[in-house]
Amino acid sequence: MEEFTKNNREILSLVDEWGPKLLNLPENVVSFSENGHWSIKEILGHMTDSASNNIHRIVHLQYDPLPSSFPDYANLGNNDRWVAIQKYQSERWSDLVMLWKYTNLHIIHVIDNVDGEKLDNVWLTALGEKVSLKAMIIDYLRHFKLHIGEIKEKMSADS
């Protein structure tokens, strides 16, 4: 959809730029965690979870009765639970990078094919906030860049 072309191009550009950078990071760098903060592996796992959850929301918001609701992911510490339960720290790094890459390529495809008449459809977050399909799609890039920035910081701290 035209409206999201710029965002999708930027996501694709970041995936293309960061995929090789990530693959070249040594295990000790991607696994390093201190003071309860996520490692690079865990951040990338969270980004994959985020893409996956958003794909489901995008699909459901095009056919569910409104307002939609979803199991909480982003609030109340649940994203920490997802990361812990999936044990991203022990995931093979190259597999995790590929999962992140292809999940993001797929969300771009899904966004490109959204029914424009459904963009005002809303879902209720666990905190009772209404979020439109359009707002959620637009915000995905901000969230993606936030976590790329965290990864960049962790890489700089290790240098």
CA distance readout (Å), 17 to 44, 59, 83, 152: 15, 28, 24, 12
Tell me the per-residue pLDDT of 42-66, one tens digit each, with 9 for 90 and over.
Answer: 999 999 999 999 999 999 999 999 9
Domain ranges of the chain: 2-158
Mean pLDDT for the chain overall: 95
pLDDT of 73 higher than 90: no
Q: Specify the fold of 2-158.
A: Four Helix Bundle (Hemerythrin (Met), subunit A) (1.20.120)
Model pTM score: 0.95
Tokens of 58: 């995008």
